[in-house]
C-alpha cells in the first residue's frame, strides 16, 4: 500500500502571511544585533584610525598613526607577550592535567584500565564547580588566598614553618605565574568533563583488545584513548586559546594596579580597557582592539589548519 501525500491546502500559507511571519520573527533580534553588536564592531575599525580622545572631543582621521605608535609602545608589547605566553601555557597545562584526570576517572579503576575509579561522579562534580563561578569572584577569592602576610591562606603555613612569605601578587617575578595558576585552576574541571564524555563514547572492546595484546596503562592512553579523543582535544585547545587571548577580569580584579606590579601581569584586554576608560584615548584603544582581533583571527586560522588531521572513525 502506498501512502498518498496530499499537499496541504493553501489556506494560511500564502506567501504574504509567510513573508510577514518571517519578517516579524526576525525584525527584533536582527535590529538588536545590528545596533549593539554589528554597528560597534564596524565603528571600532574606523575609530582606530582617528585620534579621538575624551568623551566630548570629536575624532580626527589620522590613518595608521595609532598603529605606528603601538609598535613602540613597550607596555602593549609586554601585554602581547603575556597573552602569547598564556596562549601556549594555559591550553597546554589545562589539557594535560584534564586528560590525566579524565583518564583516571574513566580507566583508572582496579580492573586494569577498562573501568572508572570508584566515586568518579563525585570527583567530576567537584572538579567542575569552579567553572560556574564568575571569573571576577574567583579573582577576589584568590586575592585573599594569595595575601602576602600571615592572613594569606598559602603564606600562613609557610610563615608558620619559619619560611619567607611569597609575594604571589606583589613580586613581579611571581605574579604572572599566580595568574596562570588561577586560570588553570578554574578551567581544568570543564575539560575533565568534556574529555570524560569523549572517553565514555570510546567502545570498551577497543581497550580490551589492546589489553589482550599486552598493552599497559600508558600504552592504552597513548595508543587508544588519545588518538580517538583527538577531535575533542582540538576543540578544547581552540576554546582555551581564545580564552587565553581574552583574559581580562582575573588580571583587572586580582592584581595590583590592574596588571601590575610594574606591568608584570598586564594583558591586551586590560590595556584596551585602561586606555579607553581611564585615559579616554578611544582611538588608540580601538587600534589595540583591532590588533587583538587580528591575533584572534590568526589563531583561529592556524588552529584550523594544524588540526586538519586524519580523523579516526569508530
Site for another protein in 188-247 (CB under 8 A): 188-190, 193-194, 197-198, 211-212, 216-217, 232, 235-236, 239, 245-246
Question: Is position 64 an interface residue for another protein (rule: CB under 8 A)?
Answer: no
Q: What is the 3-state secondary structure (H, E, C) of 168-196?
A: CCCCHHHHHHHHHHHHHHHHHHHHHHHHH
DSSP string, 154-170: THHHHHHTTPPPP-TTT
Closest-CA residue to 224 (of 234, 235, 212): 212
Interface pick for another protein out of 17, 96, 262, 279 (rule CB under 8 A): 17
State in angstroms the smallest separation of the CB of 17 from another protein. 7
State in angstroms the smallest separation of the CB of 282 from another protein. 5
Angle (CA) 195-197-200 rounded to 5° is: 105
Interface pick for another protein out of 76, 123, 168, 176 (rule CB under 8 A): 123
Question: Is position 301 an interface residue for another protein (rule: CB under 8 A)?
Answer: no
Question: Is position 153 an interface residue for another protein (rule: CB under 8 A)?
Answer: yes
CB of 174 or CB of 295, closer to another protein: 295
CA dist., res. 245 & res. 191, Å (int): 18
- Other beta carbons within 10 angstroms of residue 139's beta carbon come to 20
Stretch that binds another protein, among 24-32, 60-68, 86-94, 168-176 (CB under 8 A): 24-32
Closest-CA residue to 217 (of 227, 207, 204, 228): 207
Question: Is position 67 an interface residue for another protein (rule: CB under 8 A)?
Answer: no
Question: Is position 156 an interface residue for another protein (rule: CB under 8 A)?
Answer: yes
CA dist., res. 161 & res. 163, Å (int): 6
Question: Is position 81 an interface residue for another protein (rule: CB under 8 A)?
Answer: no
User: Which residues 6+ apart lie within 8 Å of 217 measured at CB?
Assistant: 107, 112, 113
Inter-residue contact 86 to 266 (CB < 8 Å): no
Interface pick for another protein out of 14, 35, 200, 298 (rule CB under 8 A): 35
State in angstroms the smallest separation of the CB of 157 from another protein. 7
Interface pick for another protein out of 57, 92, 140, 200 (rule CB under 8 A): 140
Interface pick for another protein out of 80, 95, 124, 241 (rule CB under 8 A): 124
Inter-residue contact 188 to 230 (CB < 8 Å): no
CB of 41 or CB of 77, closer to another protein: 41
Closest-CA residue to 114 (of 209, 24, 191): 209
Interface pick for another protein out of 4, 8, 164, 173 (rule CB under 8 A): 8
Question: Is position 14 an interface residue for another protein (rule: CB under 8 A)?
Answer: no
Question: Is position 282 an interface residue for another protein (rule: CB under 8 A)?
Answer: yes
- How far is the CA of 55 from the CAs of 37, 59, 238, 286, in angstroms? 21, 10, 37, 14
Question: Is position 40 an interface residue for another protein (rule: CB under 8 A)?
Answer: yes
State in angstroms the smallest separation of the CB of 172 from another protein. 19
Amino acid at each position: 500500500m502506498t501512502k498518498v501525500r496530499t499537499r496541504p491546502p493553501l489556506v494560511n500559507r500564502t506567501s504574504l502571511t509567510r513573508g510577514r511571519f518571517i519578517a516579524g520573527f526576525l525584525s527584533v533580534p536582527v535590529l538588536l544585533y545590528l545596533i549593539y553588536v554589528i554597528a560597534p564592531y564596524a565603528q571600532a575599525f574606523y575609530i582606530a584610525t582617528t585620534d579621538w580622545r575624551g568623551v566630548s572631543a570629536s575624532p580626527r582621521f589620522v590613518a595608521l598613526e595609532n598603529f605606528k605608535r603601538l609598535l613602540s609602545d613597550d607596555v602593549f608589547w609586554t601585554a602581547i607577550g603575556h597573552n602569547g605566553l598564556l596562549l601556549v601555557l594555559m591550553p597546554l597545562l589545562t589539557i594535560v592535567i584534564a586528560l590525566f584526570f579524565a583518564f583516571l576517572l574513566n580507566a583508572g579503576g582496579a580492573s586494569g584500565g577498562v573501568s572508572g575509579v570508584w566515586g568518579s561522579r563525585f570527583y567530576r562534580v567537584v572538579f567542575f564547580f569552579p567553572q560556574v563561578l564568575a571569573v571576577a569572584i574567583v579573582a577576589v577569592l584568590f586575592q585573599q588566598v594569595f595575601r602576602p602576610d600571615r592572613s594569606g591562606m598559602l603564606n600562613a603555613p609557610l610563615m608558620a614553618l619559619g619560611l619567607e612569605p611569597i609575594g604571589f601578587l606583589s613580586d613581579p617575578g611571581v605574579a604572572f605565574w599566580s595568574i596562570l595558576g588561577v586560570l588553570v585552576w578554574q578551567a581544568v574541571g570543564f575539560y575533565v568533563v568534556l574529555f570524560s564524555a569523549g572517553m565514555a563514547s570510546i567502545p570498551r572492546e577497543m581497550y580490551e583488545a589492546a589489553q589482550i595484546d599486552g598493552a599497559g596503562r600508558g600504552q592504552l592512553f597513548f595508543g587508544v584513548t588519545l588518538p580517538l579523543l583527538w577531535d575533542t582535544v582540538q576543540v578544547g585547545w581552540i576554546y582555551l586559546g581564545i580564552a587565553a587571548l581574552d583574559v581580562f577580569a582575573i588580571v583587572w580584579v586580582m592584581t595590583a594596579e590592574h596588571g601590575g606590579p610594574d606591568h608584570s601581569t598586564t594583558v591586551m584586554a586590560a590595556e584596551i580597557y585602561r586606555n579607553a576608560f581611564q585615559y579616554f584615548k578611544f582611538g588608540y584603544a580601538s587600534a589595540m582592539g583591532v590588533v587583538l582581533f587580528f591575533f584572534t583571527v590568526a589563531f583561529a586560522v592556524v588552529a584550523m589548519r594544524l588540526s586538519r588531521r586524519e580523523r579516526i572513525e569508530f
